[in-house]
Amino acid sequence: MSIDHDAVARVIREIAGTVIMPRFRRLASHEVSEKTPGDPVTVADLEAETMLTDRLLRLKPGSIVIGEEGVHADPALLESLESEPAVWLVDPIDGTLNFAAGLPLFCVMVAYLEHGVTRAAWIHDPVRDITAIAVDGQGTKLDGETIRLDAHGDLGRYAGCLHLRGDAGLMRAAAGNWSHMGPLLVLHCAGQEYLAMLSGRLNFAFYHNANPWDQLPGLLIHREAGGHAGQLDGSAYGLRAETRTAPLLVAPSLSCWQDIRRTLFELD
């Protein structure tokens, strides 16, 4: 059974409109809690994940759903990403910290995987009501318009975001060489950062200890628009714990990736 990619987008948009947006800037204090210090979860996260699970399973009978909040309760769920023939990976609200603070920088992210390979991906911004969709080998569309990244331009004007907390060495290297780059922008929402890279407002991103639900949807959408991503040793982002935690650089092309890697981290 094939996936109706537009039907998935409609489901995501509907749930965002009925569960997430009515609570934006209207959350009561008892509707926000912390999974760990500084990592909030809201009733909207939990309800959206439950509803997405139900609707996605109906779209693809026999599949399974792995959601961020489900993984928090049972981390072993991630072991199914590589082995199962049909998996939906869901982040019901990417950027929950922003959402809970009333900042319009959050989104819904979904990826569909077969035996560990991402076959399709969706990022929906409920505030702007826009959706990016990518299908493996078929390109990326933003609200129906085919998107190709602009890989040209002056590296010294490139806007980038860095998520390097926990790696002091890389942080020192990047800070010491950032004068060769353009503005530094951190949106605290991977999905919004991937959307910003599609629009050209952001040119590259660097992640460390990246969770699959934060990265797999964006990585396919970015790649199908012509981008390149890789860990600093050149290997691809992997699903195993030891490879998920490695530094990941996302750039508009392979040559840009190499230039940024060389400029910021002095690696050839």
Residues making up the annotated binding site are 68, 91, 93-94, 214
Contact indicator for 249, 232 with CB cutoff of 8 Å: yes
Co-location of 141 and 193 in the same domain: no
Reported pTM = 0.95
Report the candidate in 119, 117, 99, 118 with the shortest Cα–Cα distance to residue 108: 99
CB crowding 109-143: b at 16 or more within 10 Å, else e: bbbbbeeeebbbbbbbbbbeebbbbbbeeeebbbe
Domain boundary among 120, 146, 172: 146
Q: Number of folded domains in the chain? A: 2
The CATH number linked to 35 is 3.30.540.10
Instruction: Tell me which residues of the chain have a pLDDT lower than 50.
Output: none
CATH of the domain at 185: 3.40.190.80
Same domain, 162 and 237: yes
Strands of 145-146's sheet, edge to edge? 64-67, 87-94, 107-114, 117-125, 130-135, 139-142, 145-146
Express each pLDDT in 4-37 by its tens digit. Answer: 999 999 999 999 999 999 999 999 999 999 988 8
Residues 12 and 133 in one domain: yes
As a whole number of Å, the CA-based R_g of the chain is 18
Do 132 and 165 lie in one domain? The reply is: no
Of the candidates 122, 146, 170, which is a domain's last residue?
Answer: 146
Residues flagged as binding site for Mg(2+): 68, 91, 93-94, 214
From 146, 172, 198, the end of a domain falls on: 146
Sign of CA dihedral 111, 115, 116, 119: negative
Domain identity same for 252 and 129: no
Report the distance separating Cα 214 and Cα 72, nearest Å: 14
The verdict on 194 and 120 lying in the same domain is no
Please state, in angstroms and rounded to a whole number, the distance separating the CA atoms of residues 107 and 94: 5
Examine the domain organization and report whether 28 and 89 are in the same domain.
yes
> Pairing state of beta strands 204-207 and 160-162?
parallel
Same domain for 249 and 126, yes or no, is no
Q: Do 92 and 67 share a structural domain?
A: yes
User: Are 141 and 178 in a shared domain?
Assistant: no
Are residues 169 and 112 located together in one domain of the fold? Answer: no
**pLDDT for the residue 204:** 96
Range of the domain at 105: 5-146
Residues 138 and 168 in one domain: no
pLDDT value of residue 38: 85
